Amino acid sequence: MRTSLSLSLAALSLIGSATAFPHPHQDSETVLSTSSSSSNQEKANAVKEAFQHAWNGYMKYAFPHDELHPVSNGYGDSRNGWGASAVDALSTAIIMGNADAVNTILDHVAKIDYTQTSDQVSLFETTIRYLGGMLSGYDLLTGPASGLVSDDLVDTLLTQSKNLGDVLKFAFDTPSGVPYNGLNITAQGNDGATTNGLAVTGTLVLEWTRLSDLTGDEEYANLSQRAESHLLNPQPSSGEPFSGLVGSHISIANGQFTDGAVSWNGGDDSFYEYLIKMYVYDPKRFEEYKDRWVLAAESTIEHLASHPQTRPDLTFLSSYNNGNYDLSSQHLTCFDGASFLLGGSVLGRQDFIDFGLELVHGCEATYNSTLTQIGPDSWGWDPSRVPSDQKAFYEKAGFYINSGYYVLRPEVIESFYYAYRITGDEVYRDWVWNAFVAINATCRTDSGFAAVSNVNTAGGGSKDNNQESFLFAEVMKYSYLTHAEDAEWQVQAGDQNEFVFNTEAHPMRVKRT
Ligand SMILES: *[C@@H]1O[C@H](CO)[C@@H](O)[C@H](O)[C@H]1NC(C)=O
Ligand SMILES: *[C@@H]1O[C@H](CO)[C@@H](O)[C@H](O)[C@H]1NC(C)=O
Ligand SMILES: *[C@@H]1O[C@H](CO)[C@@H](O)[C@H](O)[C@H]1NC(C)=O
Ligand SMILES: *[C@@H]1O[C@H](CO)[C@@H](O)[C@H](O)[C@H]1NC(C)=O
């Protein structure tokens, strides 16, 4: 998942030197290697072991609550108490062939009452985790994983998806059709916001369109596509400072952009991700989305690509606001490599693939420069802002750490996975393995996996008492898929993908009309 948090943009006017980047090593061969398959089988099994460890801890101490507190062996309900970790784990459990976990989750889904919660509901989080998790489970269990469990409860996934869509759809009942994100579902109320964020507005359309395509009721698709139409045709022109790159907030009253702050960071990120994924989902209906993604991708290469002065071989994405560039980035942003690789592969654009690999290499550098071999939550490379105690680190690594937390995020492993699947180059598979081993060594507790406070301290600093549900949905899934056999649900090179992953790593079956 990406989050809706966005950093305030500092008024900076520096941009990294434009030293030519030596081309990353890349196999012209795109056939996936079958060598050392036995050790890949062992690695896939090691990821299954880690999943089972976390699943057992969640079942023992937290189920049917939302998430495990992996240090105290308690639980939390940060996602409305509908069992977020169980629903988010479903598609991973299916792909791993874990019938016991799948049966437990299906029994649970049948019992969820989506009309009841005492907390505010996030339209975005609920869509990507719960709706995405259930729809993906339905697509997998009625498709390539049919027969894993008895059919009895599979239809419940679609019924409950429709129930959830019906609970949430009032959010779009605004003058512009741009939804409120913060909802009071029992009173059909909202948080009173006047704007909605780019990512939370633009990361609904895959799930809501899939819901319509599976149920035959066009309403859900129409609602999400009407909201998206304001993002595809940005008004006023100050909301699109570079072709295809748009601002961060949209007026709920009239659908206009209220700023022109541009980035691929948290708060903006998955809007760009979904533009190209909608085209993968259905190239006939979503050609306009693809055209917008291409514009954004070209502008990103031209305007946002940035190379640290001390490490001109690395590429990161800066952000832009009102004439100023901010030389900082986030773990969340590291989905960017995957997006360029997917778009480049689907559209046959080698320039996008090459740039995607540059971004992948930059994100790898944030991992392999730290003591734990895990990358920080955010970092910068502005030469005028290097903290005095990080000068030596910056000289060597090319960046300094702004937040040293690692909160079990998947984006770096996600982009390594796409790089491996699309180029077939084993180096990216090795990077997934290295990251997985480091996370297992640093974050593991007796009952699961914990966020850690400082990736550049031996042992990761202190453990944070939280295990986000996306540990199951994303970190475990991408780590497993990288080492697992080819399958219909795997990302494929070229334009013949059978599944497309939502931003929470839930694979949806593509719909070609
Ligand atoms: C939703 O609104 C109802 C009625 O005003 C109120 O009692 C309840 O506390 C609200 N729920 C949330 C999560 O704000
Ligand atoms: C959805 O949108 C299409 C195209 O605008 C329209 O023909 C159809 O009636 C709409 N369906 C619903 C249920 O709103
Ligand atoms: C560390 O990251 C850099 C930059 O991507 C890469 O060139 C190098 O191969 C990595 N080192 C290892 C040991 O993976
Ligand atoms: C993960 O950690 C557990 C517990 O320390 C260990 O038994 C297992 O071998 C580790 N897996 C990998 C792949 O390092």
Whole-number Å distance between alpha carbons of 344 and 388 = 40
How far apart CA 334 and CA 338 sit, in angstroms, is: 8
At 513 the pLDDT is 74
Query: E-assigned strands of 133-265?
Result: 182-184, 189-190, 195-197, 249-251
CA-219 nearest atom, ligand 2: 13
Give the CA diameter of the chain.
62
User: Is there an atom of ligand 1 within 6 Å of 186 CB?
Assistant: yes
Ligand 1 near 187 CB (within 6 A): yes
> What are the structure tokens assigned to 370, written together?
């730290």
Q: What is the 428 CA–ligand 3 centroid distance (Å)?
A: 10
> pLDDT tens digit string along 391-426?
999 999 999 999 999 999 999 999 999 999 999 999
361 CB within 6 A, ligand 3 = yes
Helix (H) or strand (E) holding 324: strand 324-326
Q: Tell me, what's the pLDDT at 19?
A: 34
Which helix H or strand E contains 221, and what residues bound it?
helix 219-232
Q: Ligand 2 centre from 218 Cα, in Å?
A: 6
**What is the structure's pLDDT at 512?**
77
Residues in the chain with pLDDT values less than 70: 1-38
pLDDT at 143: 97
Query: Which residues is 242 bridged to in the sheet?
Result: 245
Q: Report the 10 Å Cβ neighbour count for 501.
A: 29
pLDDT in tens, 234-243: 999 999 999 9
DSSP H helical ranges for 145-218: 154-168, 198-202, 205-215
Is the shortest distance between the CB of 309 and ligand 1 below 6 Å?
no
pTM of the model: 0.94
Burial classification of residue 148, based on how many CB atoms lie within 10 Å of its CB (0-12 exposed, 13-18 middle, 19 or more buried): middle
The alpha carbon of 344 and the centre of ligand 1 are apart by a number of angstroms equal to 46
